[in-house]
Structures are given as structure tokens and as C-alpha cells.
């Protein structure tokens, strides 16, 4: 959609297969694996070469969700979640910030989640990575005051994408359902993760996120936070007004 709007876009992909459909639309692609510092540096160099040393904006949209009860998450599994969702994003952003400081302007938008605002059961690894991202980005925004580099967070709720499909693969890879005390809950969770189409009410298409992204890119005064979907607006409001025990009660009732 940004390409159609006239932006000069470089879309990053983790494998060549994912690049085919984008390149068919005339979009430039480059490989990027946030788990690899070498890959990050190569993607940045490719981008700088392509844009002749200028980067106007970065949209950090790479992340995945590792399902599972917190007590079933090993240290290594939790580390993998943070490598992609936080550490790689942080390293990439810092390299872009260095370039933006040289040119005197820029915008960086982070795709966070409603789960960066509130926590839900069996999403502990993802919750933790998004809470950490929000704290890091809020600090970064304060430190960049006066730099003419604008920082924004987009916080979607349920969006139609391959997120659940990818999460299910990570679940199968790292969670031993039959040996867990949470086996019965996992059986229900598997049905949700493998359901076709929207799994919960108020799910929106990806275009809903792009609408907020465009505002963050083009507004003279971009917002610090952009909520997407009714659940995000609702829980952001409830978190401000309710005692934590009441909020826990509501979350346990709906999830």
C-alpha cells in the first residue's frame, strides 16, 4: 500500500520465496533476519546504497508470538522470542538512527501490540517482549528530543495475518503438550491457532494498521501511540481506570 502511494519502499523478507510476490508488484526487497547481526548490517548497507545514503523512515514490523504457559517456557525459548522481537529490532533501529542523525531527520514506527499494554494467559513470551519494546521505545523517544527524529508506536489488537499460523509452528516446536499440566488448555488453544479466518471478534484487516502508519509517516505532529481495533482502545481505557484485580477478572473471562 505504501508502494502504491508513491513511497520508495524496500520490503525486507527472511527468504527468497517471500520476495517473489512483492517483486511482482515492482517493490524492491532485501533479505533480513533480525536474529543475525550480519544480516542486519547487510540489509542496512543495501538500503543506503539503494537510497543513495538517505533513509526517511523505518517501520519495525517483524515479530512472532511464542505460545505457551510461562512455566513451560525454557530460557532458550524465551531468549529466541526476545532475539527477534526486541534485540534485533533494537540493533536495526540504532543503525537507522545513526543515519538519521547525520541527515537531521527521520521517522521510526514500531508495530507493538495490545499485549504491550495488558497481559493475557499463555502468551507470556510475547507479552514480555512487547512490554520490553514499549519501555525501550518510550525511553528512546525521550532521548531523541530535539533531534527531529520522530518515534511512534502502533498497538494493534487482532489483525488478519499469518501470525496465528506462525505461532502454531513455534508452539509445536517448543511446547510438549502431553507432559504439561496445561494440557487441556493447550487443546483449546490449538483449535484457536488453527482456525481459518478471524478467531476472535473485532478482527480487522491489515489495512487498518497501514492507515495509522501513513499518519505516523506524513503528519506534521505524529502521535506517540496509535491504537488499532476496538480491544486495544478498550483495554487501554480499562487499564487506566480499573484496579488490577478487576482487570484480571475481565481478562480471564474473555480469553
Task: Copy the grid coordinates of residue 88.
Answer: 534485533
Question: 231, exposed or middle or buried, with CB in 10 Å at 0-12, 13-18, 19+?
Answer: buried
pTM as predicted: 0.94
Calculate the alpha carbon distances from 25 to 2, 13, 19, 28, 230 in Å. Answer: 12, 15, 10, 9, 32
Q: Quick one: average pLDDT of 125-133?
A: 98
pLDDT in the model for residue 176: 96
H or E stretch covering 17: helix 16-24
Beta strand 106-111 pairing with 57-60: parallel
Q: Give kind and range of the element (H or E) at residue 155.
A: strand 149-156
Q: Is the pLDDT of residue 126 over 90?
A: yes
- pLDDT exceeds 90 at position 25: yes
pLDDT band at 79 (very low <50, low <70, confident <90, very high): very high
List the chain domain ranges. Answer: 32-254
- In tens, the pLDDT along 197-242 reads 888 889 999 999 999 999 999 999 999 999 999 999 999 999 999 9
Neighbours of 191 (CB within 10 A): 9
pLDDT band at 255 (very low <50, low <70, confident <90, very high): confident
Q: Report the C-alpha gap between 133 and 116 in whole angstroms.
A: 8
Chain-centroid distance, C-alpha 145: 24
Tell me the per-residue pLDDT of 144-181, one tens digit each, with 9 for 90 and over: 999 999 999 999 999 999 999 999 999 999 999 999 99
CATH number for the 32-254 domain, one of 3.40.50.720, 3.40.50.300, 3.90.550.10, 3.40.1180.10?
Answer: 3.40.50.720
Asked if 73 and 125 count as a contact pair (C-beta separation under 8 A), the reply is yes
Residue 254 has a pLDDT of 85
Residues with a catalytic annotation lie at 126
Query: Residue 197: what pLDDT?
Result: 87
Mean per-residue pLDDT of the chain: 96
* Per-residue pLDDT band at 41 (split at 50, 70, 90): very high
For residue 51, pLDDT beyond 90:
yes
Question: What is the pairing mode between strands 106-111 and 149-156?
Answer: parallel
Amino acid at each position: 500500500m505504501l508502494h502504491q502511494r508513491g513511497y520508495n519502499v524496500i520490503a525486507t523478507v527472511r527468504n527468497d520465496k517471500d520476495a517473489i510476490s512483492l517483486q511482482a508488484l515492482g517493490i524492491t526487497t532485501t533479505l533480513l533476519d533480525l536474529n543475525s547481526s550480519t544480516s542486519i548490517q547487510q540489509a542496512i548497507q543495501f538500503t543506503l546504497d539503494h537510497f543513495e545514503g538517505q533513509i526517511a523512515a523505518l517501520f519495525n514490523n517483524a515479530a512472532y508470538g511464542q505460545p505457551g504457559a510461562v512455566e513451560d517456557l525454557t530460557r532458550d525459548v524465551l531468549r529466541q522470542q526476545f532475539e527477534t522481537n526486541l534485540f534485533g529490532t533494537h540493533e536495526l533501529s540504532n543503525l537507522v538512527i545513526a543515519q538519521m542523525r547525520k541527515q537531521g531527520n527521520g521517522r521510526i514506527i514500531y508495530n507493538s501490540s495490545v499485549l504491550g499494554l495488558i497481559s493475557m494467559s499463555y502468551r507470556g513470551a510475547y507479552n514480555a517482549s512487547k512490554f520490553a519494546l514499549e519501555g525501550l521505545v518510550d525511553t528512546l523517544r525521550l532521548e531523541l528530543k530535539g533531534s527531529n527524529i520522530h518515534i511512534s508506536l502502533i498497538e494493534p489488537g487482532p489483525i488478519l495475518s499469518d501470525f496465528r499460523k506462525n505461532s502454531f509452528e513455534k508452539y509445536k516446536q517448543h511446547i510438549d503438550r502431553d507432559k504439561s499440566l496445561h494440557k487441556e488448555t493447550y487443546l483449546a488453544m490449538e483449535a484457536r491457532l488453527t482456525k481459518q479466518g478471524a478467531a476472535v471478534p473485532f478482527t480487522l484487516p491489515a489495512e487498518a494498521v497501514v492507515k495509522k502508519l501513513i499518519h505516523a509517516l506524513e503528519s506534521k505532529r505524529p502521535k506517540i501511540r496509535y491504537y488499532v481495533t476496538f480491544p486495544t482502545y478498550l483495554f487501554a481505557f480499562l487499564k487506566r481506570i480499573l484496579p488490577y484485580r478487576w482487570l484480571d477478572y475481565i481478562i480471564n473471562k474473555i480469553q
